[in-house]
Structure 1
Amino acid sequence: MKSVIQDGYLRRLGMWDAVMIVIGGVIGSGIFRTPASVAKLTGSGLEQLALWLLGGGLTLAGVLCYAELGARRPQVGGTYIYLREAFGRLPAFLFGWTMALINYPGSIAAVAATFADYFCSAAGLPHLWSRPIAVGAIAFLVGINLGGIRAGAWVQSLFTVLKLGAVSLVVVAGLILARGHWGLALAVDTAHPVNSMAVVGALLPVLFAYGGFHYLNDLAGEVKAPQQTLPRALTIGMLTVVVCYLLANFAYLAGLGHAGLATSTAPAADTLRSLLGPHGGDWIAWGIACSTFGYCNIAIAGGARVIQTMGADGVFFRATGRLEGASRVPRIALVALGAWAIVLTLSGSFDRLLDYTTVGEWLAHAFGIATLFWYRRQFPDQPSPYRVPLYPLLPLLFVGVVLSVILATAWHSPGDAGMSLLIIALGIPVYFLWLRRAGTEA
């Protein structure tokens, strides 16, 4: 199919690419570690699986809302575009400011560091090589994406398939270890009695593990037949993730038991070692390295498109808004994002910065979904190839859950929540300075 130009970008991503982007944007390193944190806050395997199913269902509600938003506005920039049209340029800028300055580069730096740690472990390299390898991984992926979206999509597909292979390996290992006694996976764990509030708190890490589904919307301007492809890819991709997460958790519970999972610091490695011996840890280390490497790739590609959109709007450096070459690539935005991520990697400050922006990121998700009400009211007769089912129940459910997550996060970590709001507020004077510099009005 011949590529079509819209807003300067080439539509070159097909259905397979889009599904791989959704899966690769959600599955990083969380499913290999987070289940142990959740097990500490639950009292049985049944509660554990119920929480992951609930988290998946809630996230799927948000994904279906993003599917309609993407079908209505199939442009590069995703949430930034929705906020700009529905609520104005200032809220959109505050989202972009937080994501471009901290969240995207901080996520890239954090996951690149995780990739480097597991790569060194699997390859038998000393830990002091970790930081140079993380920097090299970021630079390599920026270089790949400078060649165009097809090159980045090829890398994404390859490493998404590899990470699905790693999840499958964990699932098979856990089921073999269970030796048919799968009912034990659902048993009550008398060694870890918990109260109902602890179980509610366990939903927080589950929802965080399901995050990252928005990257396809960031790239919507490069998707072929977006009105049909975006809803299908988001739904197929997210359902695949939910199934993978449920199977992985069941495998951990079947292989280690709830008590073993709750006390594990590396459940995937422990499961593989129980079956394959010491070399099992090396196998899963390679799997996690592949998974995190693929996540870095999609975060670089998606983040650069948001920065390019802001630059084209005149609320960021104008140079970052340019598209270059026959492939229409935001090269300056890619290099700027990669360079800042490398700075954060070398400084080692990314973990705290990500803690500070958690509230801001989830606020952006809530307001992003809320724009759906504006689109429905503002354009009641606009034809849409996809409409979220059970409207307005699903968007209200997602916004309500996200706001509850934000309140719970603020309650448990008031300092981080306060810093997040401060970072967002600091964007207000910066916004007006950009407008003054560009000679435009708010």
Structure 2
Amino acid sequence: MTDETSNSYVRRLGVWDGAAIVVGGVIGGGIFRTPATVAERTASGLPLLALWAVGGLLTLAGVLCYAELGARRPQAGGIYIYLREAFGSLPAFLFGWTMALINYPGSVAAVATTFADYFCRAGGLPGWWVKPVAVGAIAFIVGVNLFGIRAGAWMQNLFTILKVAAIAMLVVVGLALAHGHVDSVLAVDTTHQVPSGAWIGALLPVLFAYGGFHYLNDLAGEVRDPQRTLPRALAMGMVGVVVCYLLVNIAYLTGLGHAGLAASIAPAADVMSHIFGARGATIMAVGIACSTFGYCSIAIAGGARVLQTMGADGMFFRSVGRIDSRWHAPQIALAVLGGWAIVLTLMGTFGQLLDYTTVGEWLGHAFGIATLFWYRRRFADQPSPYRVPLYPLLPFVFVTTVLGVIVATAIDKPHDAGMSLLIIALGVPVYAVWRYRQRRQVR
């Protein structure tokens, strides 16, 4: 088992580093595109903003639950650790199998390709440069993280500042276009009919845009004074994300109107183009490139820690579980995750993988937070450095809402949901193989 006495991570991340990881892990490329999808499924700006507020509150409930889990078990691995302790090694392995081997590298491949696309647009490079730039970005991020969490944190903090600056510019431009009026926010869009119950479908992309807040828990083994730092960083980072998302959507509505937002393919670029023309679109492309690059950095760092923890548990190659004694980084896990992400980037199959593993990811969130009930019951007599408020209401609301989202997704996309469950099920025989290897090594 991996615990604080057996690993060699060094606790170097402070509150601001942790908050930057939360912001960077949540804000990728989704907020620059997803609001258009939400606008298509709502009738006016008011319900659109309400959905983003509701999604933010639900995610904050999940973040507060993760804060208690992280404070109770401040180790690298996050959900994998919680599932292993509460429900056993099989559910933990299935989570790691789905996330560390498929979802993490798949999302890195997808977002790195998005980064490369915007990077090439901003630099005027031809389309055939996209894949080489994406591969180079992944290799560069892995290379920096090989030198430890401090080097990765410096890079992450820089790109978090750049992405927040891009969002601030977008908000200022959007509000400037409003000329002090709120008509575009409150006006009802009569250009298309919205069926009753469509708000449920509109909530799905909102919740997915708020995903990624769990990465800090994956890095909990490198957080200073984790019992105090984790709750503060998670809360600060997530509140900042919710405020950013609401302001960006207000900027879209004031700059484009609800109908214009619903019809836009690239709303952020459209808002900037209103004032700055083609140069504005280029500026926004640079901002989105910074945002997506920062997300890739966090996903690689967090995913490698999960992979390393699995290796240390004997649930993957033992060599992957090693931590470099000089730089205190899971260098082999980083190389494996980055290498697999590069393969997926070159193959171009990451889109389907992400569609297929979405249900598995959110199942992991639901069961991960459900472990809080087990911890409260199992360690009822032990004091916790942080306790989620309004327990058991907040974890119950989050778990039931996420399960509802999964059911709605399965109804809307039964093929993708079925493939996701199949991928999870394929992990069962793989788990049996690794358990067999463990027993043979013990003899």
Q: Measure the CA separation in 2 of the matches of 1:232 and 1:84.
A: 25
Deviations for 1:37-81, whole angstroms, at most 9, x for unmatched residues? Answer: 100000000011000000000011000000000000000000000
Residues 377/5 of structure 1: CA separation in 2 closer, same or farther (3 Å cut): closer
Deviation at 1:184, TM superposition (A): 2.5
Equivalent AA in structure 2 for residue 261 of structure 1: L
Alignment match, 1:60: 60
Alignment match, 1:140: 140
Alignment match, 1:167: 167
Superposed, 1:218-367 pairs within 5 Å as: 218-367=218-367
Deviation at 1:181, TM superposition (A): 1.0
Q: Measure the CA separation in 2 of the matches of 1:401 and 1:210.
A: 14
Equivalent AA in structure 2 for residue 135 of structure 1: V
Q: Is the 8 A contact 2:62 2:394 kept in 1?
A: yes
Deviation at 1:325, TM superposition (A): 3.1
Runs of 5+ in structure 2 lacking a partner? none
Q: Measure the CA separation in 2 of the matches of 1:260 and 1:99.
A: 36
Q: Is the 8 A contact 1:10 1:327 kept in 2?
A: no
Deviation at 1:292, TM superposition (A): 0.2
Larger mean CA deviation between 175-184 and 265-274 belongs to 175-184
Alignment match, 1:10: 10
Alignment match, 2:114: 114
Larger mean CA deviation between 192-201 and 301-310 belongs to 192-201
Q: Measure the CA separation in 2 of the matches of 1:310 and 1:382.
A: 28
Residues 430/243 of structure 1: CA separation in 2 closer, same or farther (3 Å cut): same
Alignment match, 2:418: 418
SS class of match (1:314): coil
Equivalent AA in structure 2 for residue 235 of structure 1: A
Alignment match, 1:19: 19
Q: Is the 8 A contact 1:78 1:220 kept in 2?
A: yes
Q: Measure the CA separation in 2 of the matches of 1:435 and 1:77.
A: 19
Q: Is the 8 A contact 1:6 1:221 kept in 2?
A: no
Normalised TM-score (structure 1): 0.98
Alignment match, 1:124: 124
Q: Measure the CA separation in 2 of the matches of 1:419 and 1:43.
A: 33
Q: Does 1:50 align with 2:50?
A: yes
Equivalent AA in structure 2 for residue 323 of structure 1: I
Q: Is the 8 A contact 2:8 2:325 kept in 1?
A: no
- Residue identity (%): 71
Alignment coverage as a number of residue pairs: 438
Q: Measure the CA separation in 2 of the matches of 1:134 and 1:248.
A: 27
Equivalent AA in structure 2 for residue 148 of structure 1: G
Deviation at 1:195, TM superposition (A): 2.3
SS class of match (2:69): helix
Deviation at 1:251, TM superposition (A): 0.5
Q: Measure the CA separation in 2 of the matches of 1:99 and 1:438.
A: 22
Deviation at 1:133, TM superposition (A): 0.2
Q: Measure the CA separation in 1 of the matches of 2:196 and 2:121.
A: 38
Equivalent AA in structure 2 for residue 341 of structure 1: A
Equivalent AA in structure 2 for residue 290 of structure 1: C
SS class of match (1:327): coil
Q: Is the 8 A contact 1:42 1:192 kept in 2?
A: no
Deviation at 1:200, TM superposition (A): 1.2
Equivalent AA in structure 2 for residue 318 of structure 1: R
Deviations for 1:223-273, whole angstroms, at most 9, x for unmatched residues? Answer: 000000000000010000000000000000001000000000000000000
Superposed, 1:388-399 pairs within 5 Å as: 388-399=388-399
Deviation at 1:186, TM superposition (A): 1.8
Deviations for 1:130-174, whole angstroms, at most 9, x for unmatched residues? Answer: 000000000000000001100000000000000001111110010
Larger mean CA deviation between 313-322 and 194-203 belongs to 194-203
Superposed, 1:356-395 pairs within 5 Å as: 356-395=356-395
Runs of 5+ in structure 1 lacking a partner? none
Q: Measure the CA separation in 1 of the matches of 2:184 and 2:317.
A: 57
Q: Measure the CA separation in 2 of the matches of 1:106 and 1:396.
A: 30
Deviation at 1:6, TM superposition (A): 6.9
Superposed, 1:209-220 pairs within 5 Å as: 209-220=209-220
Superposed, 1:66-215 pairs within 5 Å as: 66-215=66-215
Q: Measure the CA separation in 2 of the matches of 1:213 and 1:6.
A: 26
Equivalent AA in structure 2 for residue 268 of structure 1: A
Q: Is the 8 A contact 1:78 1:214 kept in 2?
A: yes
Deviations for 1:380-402, whole angstroms, at most 9, x for unmatched residues? Answer: 01111211011000000000100
Deviations for 1:196-222, whole angstroms, at most 9, x for unmatched residues? Answer: 321110000000000000000000000
SS class of match (1:439): helix
Equivalent AA in structure 2 for residue 48 of structure 1: L
Residues 247/89 of structure 1: CA separation in 2 closer, same or farther (3 Å cut): same
Larger mean CA deviation between 381-390 and 215-224 belongs to 381-390
SS class of match (1:10): coil
Q: Measure the CA separation in 2 of the matches of 1:429 and 1:81.
A: 21
Residues 13/5 of structure 1: CA separation in 2 closer, same or farther (3 Å cut): farther
Deviation at 1:277, TM superposition (A): 1.1
Deviation at 1:16, TM superposition (A): 1.0
Larger mean CA deviation between 70-79 and 380-389 belongs to 380-389
Equivalent AA in structure 2 for residue 13 of structure 1: L
Q: Measure the CA separation in 1 of the matches of 2:375 and 2:87.
A: 11
Deviations for 1:15-39, whole angstroms, at most 9, x for unmatched residues? Answer: 1110100000000001111100100
SS class of match (2:197): helix
Q: Measure the CA separation in 2 of the matches of 1:428 and 1:236.
A: 38
Q: Does 1:403 align with 2:403?
A: yes
Q: Measure the CA separation in 2 of the matches of 1:386 and 1:6.
A: 24
Q: Is the 8 A contact 1:5 1:11 kept in 2?
A: no
